[in-house]
């Protein structure tokens, strides 16, 4: 009997364990191309983690990759390449930074500009490290939603960073076709480097967060540092590019250094913190390369059955926001594609808010059918949602079109009643245009209002990421 029980435990324990995993994403923004001691810091951290059997993600700036190459630091490059390599913009803090150059541009033009400026940096990181970068994260708070389509074109599928512009319940989410680990709230913290030999308060925070995630079926914790923090007491970029300053290269100054002993203490703080996390049950360190495999594929199965369409229409008619339908989490874009009869695919949201000029309470069914066919064609050809859909010379905004379409699916009739769409995803986006973009490198008072507005329109693609079972 006891042996049978032991056998049961042996067989079942790993399953129970796998049911509530706590994934730790530990990442390092590897960006200081001015102070060469930061190269040594990256080397030391990568080697310490490798020795501890932990894999992390190093998000490398394009210019950092280039200076590692020109300084002959093959040792650093090889040590980092044992971990996952991400991308952290081409120049980081040299102006214009991404939000600065994206703010005057629309969605499509901004995506082109992001690709023009950042594509060469991605290529350099790939060439120097011999591997395609697996994730991106913006420098500072220099965020813009136009990066998403550009990153997909550049072959990057994960957005790994912190920021306040968009977030979903402190866990990873799908947005703009990328898996985002962003705005993680209580699930992002760190052991402070400046509190002594170790930060035991961070251990407690970690244990609390891990316990909370375990009890809700598992989840992710995001922890980040910069290698330069371990060797300097000020940031390399604040010393040169603060508030829009853009001195030429020969005027760049080096940031103030820590002493060698103090750096050693900092490495110890990280080493102990990692050892603590690693010793906890059900905790797994994962990289940005692992992440897409841990979450369910964002593309839903084809939803063309009557029950599927019915369930989708019932939701979309009243709520334009992600929702679980027939066992799948669907974004409003997923739902709209299903109702339009378009095969599931990654699409972008609309590029503008659009307007409804149709003033009658209903639309003749043949005219609405024509509009629906046109909308489906738009999505298939352009891989994004239209801002508005024409009924003859009049229009319905995308939310009104979607709700009206849903209503027509539920109650087919000779006259399709116009239903006003209710956008409910706005609550996942920041409203303050200044605070989320507050970064010492941006000009003082920099406003990202147009970026937030474009970002909210992409809320059509927003939905939680669900761990694969």
Which residues of this chain interact with Zn ion, rule CB under 5 A? 29, 31, 139
Phi, psi dihedrals of residue 97, rounded to the nearest 5°? -80, 170
Contact assessment for residue 96 and residue 118, using Cβ atoms and an 8 Å cutoff: no
Contact assessment for residue 339 and residue 312, using Cβ atoms and an 8 Å cutoff: yes
What span, in angstroms and rounded, lies between the C-alpha atoms of 86 and 386?
32
Contact assessment for residue 454 and residue 145, using Cβ atoms and an 8 Å cutoff: yes
Least distance from Zn ion to the Cβ atom of residue 94, Å: 12
Q: How far is CA 37 from the centre of its chain?
A: 30
Least distance from Zn ion to the Cβ atom of residue 272, Å: 24
CA angle 83, 128, 47 (to 5 degrees): 30
Residue closer to Zn ion (CB basis): 29 or 124: 29
Least distance from Zn ion to the Cβ atom of residue 103, Å: 19
Least distance from Zn ion to the Cβ atom of residue 104, Å: 23
Contact assessment for residue 282 and residue 246, using Cβ atoms and an 8 Å cutoff: no
Residue closer to Zn ion (CB basis): 29 or 229: 29
Cβ neighbours around 464 below 10 Å, total? 16
Residue closer to Zn ion (CB basis): 31 or 100: 31
Least distance from Zn ion to the Cβ atom of residue 138, Å: 8
Residue closer to Zn ion (CB basis): 31 or 170: 31
Alpha-helical regions (H) of 130-258? 147-153, 200-214, 238-241
Least distance from Zn ion to the Cβ atom of residue 363, Å: 50
Q: Which candidate, 88, 82, 86, 72, places its Cα nearest to that of 48?
A: 82
Alpha-helical regions (H) of 52-129? 62-70, 74-81, 98-102, 107-129
What span, in angstroms and rounded, lies between the C-alpha atoms of 346 and 343?
10
Least distance from Zn ion to the Cβ atom of residue 134, Å: 17
* Count, residues in the chain: 469
Residue with nearest beta carbon to Zn ion: 29
β strands within 347-399, DSSP E: 362-364, 388-391, 394-397
Cβ neighbours around 254 below 10 Å, total? 16
Residue closer to Zn ion (CB basis): 139 or 292: 139
β strands within 10-109, DSSP E: 22-30, 57-60, 84-87
Per-residue exposure over 83-116, b if at least 16 CB sit within 10 Å of its own CB, e if not? bbbbbbbbbbbbebbbbbbbbebebeebbebbbe
Least distance from Zn ion to the Cβ atom of residue 142, Å: 9
Least distance from Zn ion to the Cβ atom of residue 173, Å: 22
Residue closer to Zn ion (CB basis): 241 or 322: 241
Contact assessment for residue 202 and residue 189, using Cβ atoms and an 8 Å cutoff: yes
Residue closer to Zn ion (CB basis): 29 or 199: 29
Residue closer to Zn ion (CB basis): 65 or 329: 65
Least distance from Zn ion to the Cβ atom of residue 90, Å: 12
CA angle 57, 63, 66 (to 5 degrees): 90
Q: Which residue(s) pair with 28 in the sheet?
A: 58, 225
Residue closer to Zn ion (CB basis): 31 or 118: 31
Pairing of strands 388-391, 394-397: antiparallel
Residue closer to Zn ion (CB basis): 85 or 405: 85
């Amino acid at each position: 009997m006891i042996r049978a029980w032991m056998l049961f435990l042996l067989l079942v324990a790993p399953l129970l364990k796998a049911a509530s995993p706590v994934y730790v994403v530990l990442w390092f923004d590897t960006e200081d191309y001015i102070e060469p001691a930061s190269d040594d810091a990256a080397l030391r951290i990568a080697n310490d983690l490798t020795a501890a059997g932990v894999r992390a993600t190093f998000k490398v700036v394009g210019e950092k990759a280039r200076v590692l190459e020109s300084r002959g630091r093959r040792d650093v490059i090889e040590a980092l390449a044992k971990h996952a390599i991400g991308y952290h913009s081409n120049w980081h803090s040299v102006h214009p930074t991404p939000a600065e150059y994206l703010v005057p541009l629309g969605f499509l033009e901004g995506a082109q500009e992001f690709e023009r400026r950042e594509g060469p940096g991605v290529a350099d990181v790939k060439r120097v490290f011999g591997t395609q970068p697996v994730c991106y994260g913006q420098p500072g708070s220099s965020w813009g939603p136009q990066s998403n389509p550009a990153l997909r074109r550049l072959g990057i599928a994960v957005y790994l960073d912190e920021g306040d512009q968009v977030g979903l319940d402190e866990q990873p989410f799908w947005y703009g076709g990328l898996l985002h680990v962003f705005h993680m709230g209580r699930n992002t913290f760190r052991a402070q480097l400046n509190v002594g030999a170790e930060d035991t308060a961070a251990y407690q925070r970690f244990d609390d967060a891990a316990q909370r995630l375990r009890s809700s079926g598992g989840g992710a914790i995001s922890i980040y540092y910069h290698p330069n923090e371990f060797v300097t007491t000020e940031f390399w970029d604040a010393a040169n590019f603060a508030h829009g300053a853009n001195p030429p290269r020969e005027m760049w100054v080096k940031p103030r250094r820590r002493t060698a002993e103090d750096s050693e203490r900092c490495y110890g703080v990280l080493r102990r913190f990692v050892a603590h996390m690693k010793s906890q049950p059900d905790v797994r360190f994962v990289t940005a390369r692992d992440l897409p495999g841990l979450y369910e594929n964002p593309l839903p199965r084809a939803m063309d059955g009557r029950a599927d369409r019915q369930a989708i229409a019932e939701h979309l008619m009243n709520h334009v926001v992600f929702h679980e339908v027939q066992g799948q989490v669907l974004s409003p874009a997923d739902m709209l594609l299903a109702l339009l009869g378009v095969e599931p695919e990654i699409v972008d949201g609309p590029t503008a808010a659009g307007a409804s000029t149709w003033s009658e309470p209903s639309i003749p069914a043949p005219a609405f059918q024509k509009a629906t066919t046109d909308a489906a064609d738009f999505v298939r050809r352009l891989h994004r949602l239209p801002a508005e859909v024409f009924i003859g010379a009049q229009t319905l905004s995308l939310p009104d079109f979607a709700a009206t379409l849903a209503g027509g699916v539920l109650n087919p009739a000779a006259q399709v009643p116009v239903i006003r769409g209710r956008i409910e995803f706005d609550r996942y986006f920041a409203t303050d245009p200044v605070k989320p973009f507050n970064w010492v490198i941006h000009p003082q008072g920099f406003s990202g209002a147009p970026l937030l507005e474009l970002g909210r329109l992409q809320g059509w693609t927003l939905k939680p990421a669900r761990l694969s079972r």
